[in-house]
């Protein structure tokens, strides 16, 4: 009798052991998955807590959240690093343009210069430097932005008002009517306008605005090539046009001050070539 | 037509202080046709000695000497030093573009005016001329007061108490003014 009991008990223990062992293997696999993700700088992993015991579920969710927090920290760090570099660079550039502009202006205004062939060259030097100073100047002004005046912004109304500025485009706005976000309305408007301006330069016909926890701003103009996609947020990058836009780098900074992130989505939304995402920071 | 360079020059001395020699050169080229003497300094340490040795009408002072993040601190310190030792000499600050906060702080600390870098030549000249004119206006007010006080004292034949009464000030104030003359 005892032997049978012992055998049955042993069987149960073996079974339990196997189940526990398999479960541990599953956990180890998860750990490896997360390690690999982090190694590849992908902090956006979100492993499902399905099949976990309640303690393990809590651990997994903590790790998921941590991953997202690190992602936002890294992005914020990058923006702030660019901000510091921009400040130093613009300062140095403005210092350098000072004597160039002053001396060339003085020479051009000198009576003895009238009619000499050097006037043309000096004028070219002066104009080029003026252009540089003007571009850097506008950039510098914007890097000294006032702190945002946060308020309750009715997103749908804001998007409609931006849409009204570009009647020549087709607008597909999919935002809940009553949706309210916490932001600086003027600054958010500026960023939206900047995105639309870029899209217009890329010869878009349609603009899509959709809310799904974040604001997805899409267009169907020329797509951004993969190798360029990483550079678009670097300061001074978007200077092809006459410099009327505020640039994506500054847009990112402006949104960061309102605790929102601006990113380019890897795969654009259905029907579009490009999608930007404005997401609230956690 | 031959242009007499010297005719439009104001009989004034400008002292320019900036650690960038190119900016000193630019300032000299820009200001020489308008002001008789332009003195240049690359290091602010020599400021006070220079002010003791030379008769300076306006100081054009750069605000950023160190390349660190404390831009403006050093300039502000020098501004205070000048103001303490030579309160009669106006100081015009050169600030970085769009650094309005620093400029306002400078004005509060006694600067006469400011220009941003890069500057417009004509504007720089005008600012300096205006500062000199203002200084002359202030100086002539002081001269007038001095003459008035002297006249009253003479009228009272040296009786300071009587003079003070006529001037509407206390005797102590009158003595102090006399000492300042």
Q: What is the pLDDT of residues A87-126, one digit of tens each?
A: 788 888 888 999 999 999 999 999 888 889 899 999 999 9
Please state, in angstroms and rounded to a whole number, the distance separating the CA atoms of residues A258 and A244.
23
Q: How far apart are CA A249 and CA A237, in angstroms?
A: 8
Q: Is B40 on the interface with A (CB under 8 A)?
A: no
CB A79 within 8 A of CB A253: yes
Helix/strand/coil percent split, chain A, to 5 = 60, 15, 30
- On the question of a cis peptide bond just before residue B118, with omega within 30 degrees of 0, the verdict is yes
Q: What is the pLDDT of residue A246?
A: 64
A163: its two tokens? 């849409």
The DSSP symbol for B8 reads G
Q: What is the greatest pairwise CA distance in chain A?
A: 123
Q: Do the Cβ atoms of B97 and A106 come within 8 Å?
A: no
Regarding whether A87 and A180 lie in a shared domain, the answer is no
CA B58 to chain CA centroid, nearest Å? 4
How is residue B4 written in tokens?
């007499």
Angle at B113 between CA B135 and CA B88, to 5 degrees: 35
Whether A171 and A265 share a structural domain: yes
Which of A91, A122, A144 is at the close of a domain? A144
Kindly list the structural domains of chain B, giving each domain's residue range(s) and its CATH number in brackets, ordered by start.
4-135 (3.40.50.2300), 141-180 (1.10.10)
The verdict on A159 and A110 lying in the same domain is no
- Shared domain for A173 and A131, answered yes or no, is no
Compute φ and ψ for B47, nearest 5 degrees.
-55, -60
Predicted TM-score (pTM) above 0.80: no
Q: Is the pLDDT of residue A205 over 70?
A: yes
CATH code, A188: 3.30.565.10
As given in the structure block, the two tokens for residue A132 are 């540089």
Instruction: Note the pLDDT tens digit of each residue in B103-132.
Output: 888 888 889 999 988 999 999 999 999 999
A106 and A134 assigned to the same domain: yes
- Kindly state whether residue A243 falls inside one of the protein's structural domains: yes
User: Looking at the structure, do residues A270 and A168 belong to the same domain, yes or no?
Assistant: yes
Give yes or no for a contact between A198 and A218, defined as CB atoms under 8 angstroms apart. no
* Other Cβ atoms within 10 Å of A48 Cβ, number: 10
**Distance, CA of B55 to CA of B169 (rounded, Å):** 33
CA-CA distance, B57 to B37, in Å (whole number)? 10
Domain membership flag for residue A129: yes
Residues of A in contact with B124 (CB under 8 A): 102
| Number of domains chain A is built from | 2
> Among A1-10, A237-246, B103-112, which stretch is predicted with the lowest mean pLDDT?
A237-246
Q: How far is A103 from chain B (nearest CA, A)?
A: 5
Q: Are residues A216 and A117 in the same domain?
A: no
Please provide the size of chain B in residues.
181
The parent domain of residue A165 ranges over 151-280
B25 and A103 within 8 Å at the Cβ level: the answer is: yes
Chain A CB contacts of B98 below 8 Å = 137, 140-141, 144
């Amino acid at each position: 009798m005892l032997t049978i009991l012992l055998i049955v008990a042993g069987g149960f223990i073996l079974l339990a052991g196997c189940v526990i062992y398999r479960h541990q293997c599953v956990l180890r696999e998860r750990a490896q998955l997360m390690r690999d993700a982090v190694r590849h700088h992908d902090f956006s992993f979100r492993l499902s807590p399905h099949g976990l015991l309640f303690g393990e579920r809590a651990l997994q969710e903590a790790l998921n959240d941590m991953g997202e927090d690190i992602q936002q920290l890294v992005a914020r760090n990058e923006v702030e690093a660019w901000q510091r570099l921009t400040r130093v660079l613009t300062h140095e550039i403005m210092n350098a343009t000072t004597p160039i502009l002053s001396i060339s202006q003085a020479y051009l205004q000198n009576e003895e210069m009238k009619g000499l062939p050097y006037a043309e060259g000096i004028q070219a030097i002066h104009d080029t430097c003026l252009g540089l100073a003007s571009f850097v100047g506008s950039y510098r002004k914007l890097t000294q932005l006032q702190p945002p005046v946060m308020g309750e912004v009715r997103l749908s109304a804001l998007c409609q008002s931006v849409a009204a500025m570009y009647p020549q485009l087709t607008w597909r706005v999919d935002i809940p009517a009553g949706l309210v976000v916490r932001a600086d309305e003027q600054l958010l408007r500026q960023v939206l306008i900047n995105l639309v301006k870029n899209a217009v330069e890329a010869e878009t016909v349609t603009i899509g605005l959709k809310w799904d926890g974040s604001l997805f701003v899409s267009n169907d103009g020329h797509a951004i090539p993969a190798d360029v996609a990483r550079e678009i947020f670097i300061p001074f990058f978007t200077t092809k046009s006459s410099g009327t836009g505020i640039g994506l780098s500054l847009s990112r900074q402006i949104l960061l001050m309102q605790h929102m992130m601006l990113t380019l989505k890897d795969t654009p939304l259905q029907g579009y070539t490009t999608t930007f995402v404005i997401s609230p920071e956690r | 037509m031959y242009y007499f360079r010297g005719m439009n020059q104001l009989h004034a001395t400008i002292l320019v202080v900036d650690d960038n020699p190119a900016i000193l050169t630019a300032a000299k080229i820009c200001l020489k046709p308008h002001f008789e003497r332009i003195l240049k300094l690359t290091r602010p340490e020599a400021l006070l000695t220079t002010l003791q040795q030379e008769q300076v009408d306006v100081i054009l002072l750069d605000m950023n000497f160190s390349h660190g993040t404390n831009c403006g601190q050093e300039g502000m310190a020098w501004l205070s030093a000048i103001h303490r030792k030579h309160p009669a000499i106006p100081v015009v600050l050169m600030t970085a573009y769009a650094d309005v906060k620093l400029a306002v702080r400078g004005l509060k600390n006694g600067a006469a005016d400011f220009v941003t870098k890069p500057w417009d030549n004509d504007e720089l000249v005008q600012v300096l001329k205006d500062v000199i004119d203002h200084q002359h206006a202030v100086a002539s007010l002081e001269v007038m007061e001095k003459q008035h006080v002297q006249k009253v004292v003479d009228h009272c034949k040296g009786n300071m108490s009587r003079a003070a009464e006529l001037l509407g000030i206390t005797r102590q104030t009158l003595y102090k003014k006399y000492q300042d003359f």
